[in-house]
């Protein structure tokens, strides 16, 4: 009996221990879930924004990352003479950590997804390191709606691969063309791991006008049925606002913000509504373009000069180094500068191939500010040192050219010394002149 009782006691103690261990296991599991939640999909009010450093990429000439009509529905490429505009600015890059790789990518509001060279790509002429998928990488199937939406082709399963994974073409109007395997992988932001869509380039076959050697972080405007882009994913995972901004200094360095904008006391944005019927690009309306008053010797009176009003819709694109205006707007700007130049022949020579010769280095400072007024009252003020960029010695070239397709586009050349906010929560663009 004693032995039986002892065995019974031991069994009861064993059951108690088992229950205790089960409780510990449950508590540990709950704790682990809470920890994981902090790095995945739980929304946190204590997070307001993330900040990424920005630096410029130097190349000969100006380049563009605007997408072509065959893939994305826009056709905003450079005119054939754009390489004649000598300079050293190309685009803005920021470092990210995706999968097992830290990589620099170009910030592009004119395309939709993160496209980076993948390990094993023999034809890729991009900078290393190449993307190495993590253990959390998951495929997207070629027959899925997500794959069809991303690839925008009728049958993504017919891409010549021997599996059911999603492969997609990506094309850009500088001649860049890729085929990429589209998956989901982990983007590391601070101490958080966020699932995002990644296009790992497996073939680089485009005839580039400008040799572009960086991956592309496409953060264009999402459509309601599209898979989330990188900004969408960060917002959904962390609970921060679906807002991002480019805060650029005079040398194009600065910060790329996601979430609440980083502003000083007293600084406020002026906003213009986004055209909500257009996706993948940020399109706004310009009410007017004008100059501040020219010096008195240019005209009979010193008053602001209205150039254009009721202007066509305008694209804002961080993936384009230079700005584009329709022929009417382009000539209305350069003719006014040329007219003022003609009044001071000892200090300035007229327009030749988009360039002026300012014989007096202080001449540019006497040119007036160019003001772009958007619907809703937002204003972008562009000083002469920006709309006529110094190329070498006394040669200044316009940081804008004629559009090849009757569209207006504001690129990075007009965003310098500004904080441009892309507010997807309220469908508006904000400008804060620095």
Of 228, 258, 288, which closes a domain? 258
Please tell me which residue in 174, 204, 232, 317 is annotated as part of the active site: 317
Is residue 7 assigned to a domain?
Answer: no
Based on the fold, state whether residues 103 and 166 are members of the same structural domain.
Answer: yes
Instruction: Indicate which residue of 108, 174, 204, 232 is catalytic.
Output: 108
User: Are 202 and 75 part of one and the same domain?
Assistant: yes
- Is 353 a domain residue? yes
Residue 225 located in a structural domain: yes
The reply to whether 226 and 289 lie within a common domain is no
Q: With beta carbons less than 8 A apart as the criterion, state whether 156 and 104 touch.
A: no
213/307 same-domain check: no
pLDDT for residue 295: 60
pLDDT of residue 67: 25
Are residues 200 and 56 both part of a single domain?
Answer: yes
Burial 371-393 (b: 16+ CB within 10 A, else e): bbbbeeebebbbbbbbbbbeeee
Write down the pLDDT at residue 60. Answer: 36
Judge if 304 and 335 occupy the same domain.
Answer: yes
Picking from 258, 277, 296, the residue at the C-terminal end of a domain is 258
pLDDT of the chain along its 434 residues, tens only?
A: 222 222 334 344 444 444 544 555 554 444 444 434 444 444 444 667 788 777 765 443 332 222 222 222 223 322 222 222 222 345 788 889 998 899 989 899 999 999 999 999 888 888 889 999 999 999 999 889 999 899 877 777 877 666 789 999 998 767 788 899 999 999 988 788 999 999 999 988 876 545 457 889 999 998 888 899 999 999 999 999 999 999 988 777 888 999 989 889 889 999 999 999 888 899 999 988 888 876 655 544 455 666 666 677 899 999 888 899 988 889 888 888 888 888 888 888 877 778 888 888 888 888 889 999 999 999 999 999 999 888 877 888 888 988 887 889 999 889 989 999 999 999 999 999 87
Measured CA to CA in angstroms, residue 292 lies from 229, 270, 287, 368 at distances of 40, 19, 16, 5
Q: Tell me the CB-side half-sphere exposure of residue 385, using CA atoms within 13 A.
A: 7
Nearest to 221 by CA among 67, 350, 354, 415: 67
Residues 66 and 204 in one domain: yes
Between CA 149 and CA 139 the distance in angstroms is 15
In terms of domains, do 193 and 273 share one? no
335 assigned to some structural domain: yes
**Structural domain contains residue 76:** yes
Contact 333, 387 (CB under 8 A): yes
Which of 95, 426, 127, 48 lies closest to 256 in space, CA to CA? 95
Same domain, 373 and 393: yes
pLDDT in tens, 34-64: 434 444 444 444 667 788 777 765 443 332 2
Same domain, 251 and 280: no
The answer to whether 108 is a known catalytic residue is yes
Of the candidates 16, 185, 24, the one whose C-alpha atom is nearest the C-alpha of residue 101 is: 185
Q: Which residues pair with 199 in a beta bridge?
A: 115, 182
Flag whether 394 is in a domain.
Answer: yes
Distance CA 266, CA 369 (A): 23
- Measured between alpha carbons, how far is 129 from 66 in angstroms, rounded to an integer? 24
Of 202, 227, 258, the residue at which a domain comes to its end is: 258
**Residue 421 belongs to what domain range?**
264-433
State the Cα angle at 95 between 89 and 100, rounded to 5°: 140
Instruction: Decide if 15 is inside a domain.
Output: no
Q: Is 317 a catalytic residue?
A: yes
User: Residue 325's beta-bridge partner residues?
Assistant: 402
Give the C-alpha distances (Å, rounded to integers) separating 354 from 161, 371, 372, 407, 412.
47, 20, 20, 19, 18
Residue 1 resides in a domain: no
CATH of the domain at 327: 2.40.70.10
Residues 204 and 345 in one domain: no
223: phi then psi, degrees, rounded to nearest 5: -90, 160
| Count of structural domains within the chain | 2
State which H helix or E strand residue 84 sits in.
none
Burial class (CB in 10 A: 0-12, 13-18, 19+), 415: buried
Nearest Cα to 316, choosing from 261, 231, 380?
Answer: 380
User: Are residues 327 and 382 both part of a single domain?
Assistant: yes
DSSP per position, 285-300: -EEEEEE-PPPTTTSS
């Amino acid at each position: 009996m004693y032995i039986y009782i002892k065995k019974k006691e031991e069994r009861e103690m064993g059951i108690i221990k088992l229950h205790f261990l089960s409780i510990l296991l449950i508590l540990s599991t709950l704790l682990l879930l809470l920890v994981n939640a902090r790095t995945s999909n739980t929304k946190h009010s204590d997070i307001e924004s993330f900040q990424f450093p920005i630096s410029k990429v130097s190349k000969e000439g100006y380049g563009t990352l605007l997408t072509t009509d065959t893939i994305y529905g826009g056709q905003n490429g450079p005119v054939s003479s754009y390489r004649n505009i000598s300079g050293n600015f190309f685009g803005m890059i920021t470092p990210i950590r995706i999968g097992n790789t830290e990589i620099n990518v170009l910030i592009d509001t004119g395309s939709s997804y993160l496209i980076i060279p993948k390990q094993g790509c023999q034809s890729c002429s991009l900078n290393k390191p190449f993307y190495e998928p993590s253990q959390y990488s998951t495929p997207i199937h070629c027959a899925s709606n997500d794959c069809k939406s991303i690839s925008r082709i009728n049958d993504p399963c017919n891409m010549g691969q021997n599996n059911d994974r999603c492969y997609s073409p990506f094309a850009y109007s500088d001649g860049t063309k890729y085929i990429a395997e589209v998956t989901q992988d982990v983007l590391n932001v601070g101490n958080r791991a966020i699932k995002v869509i990644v296009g790992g380039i497996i073939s680089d076959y485009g005839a580039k006008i400008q040799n572009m050697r960086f991956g592309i972080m496409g953060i264009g405007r999402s459509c309601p049925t599209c898979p989330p882009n990188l900004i969408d994913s960060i917002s959904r995972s962390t609970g921060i606002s679906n807002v991002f901004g480019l805060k650029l200094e005079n040398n194009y360095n600065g910060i790329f913000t996601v979430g609440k904008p980083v502003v000083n006391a007293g600084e406020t944005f002026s906003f213009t509504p986004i055209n909500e019927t257009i996706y993948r690009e940020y399109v706004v309306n310009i009410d007017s373009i004008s100059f501040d008053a020219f010096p008195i010797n240019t005209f009979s009176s010193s008053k602001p000069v209205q150039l254009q009003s009721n202007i066509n819709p305008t694209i804002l694109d961080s993936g384009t180094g230079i700005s584009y205006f329709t022929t009417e707007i382009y000539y209305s700007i350069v003719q006014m500068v040329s007219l003022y130049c003609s009044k001071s022949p000892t200090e300035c020579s007229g327009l030749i191939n988009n360039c002026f010769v300012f014989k007096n280095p202080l001449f540019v400072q006497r040119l007036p500010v160019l003001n772009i007024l958007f619907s809703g009252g937002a204003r972008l003020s562009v000083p002469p040192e920006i709309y006529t960029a110094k190329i070498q010695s006394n040669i200044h070239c316009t940081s804008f050219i004629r559009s090849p397709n009757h569209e207006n586009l504001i690129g990075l050349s007009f965003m310098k010394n500004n904080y441009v906010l892309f507010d997807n929560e309220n469908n508006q663009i904000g400008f804060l002149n620095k």
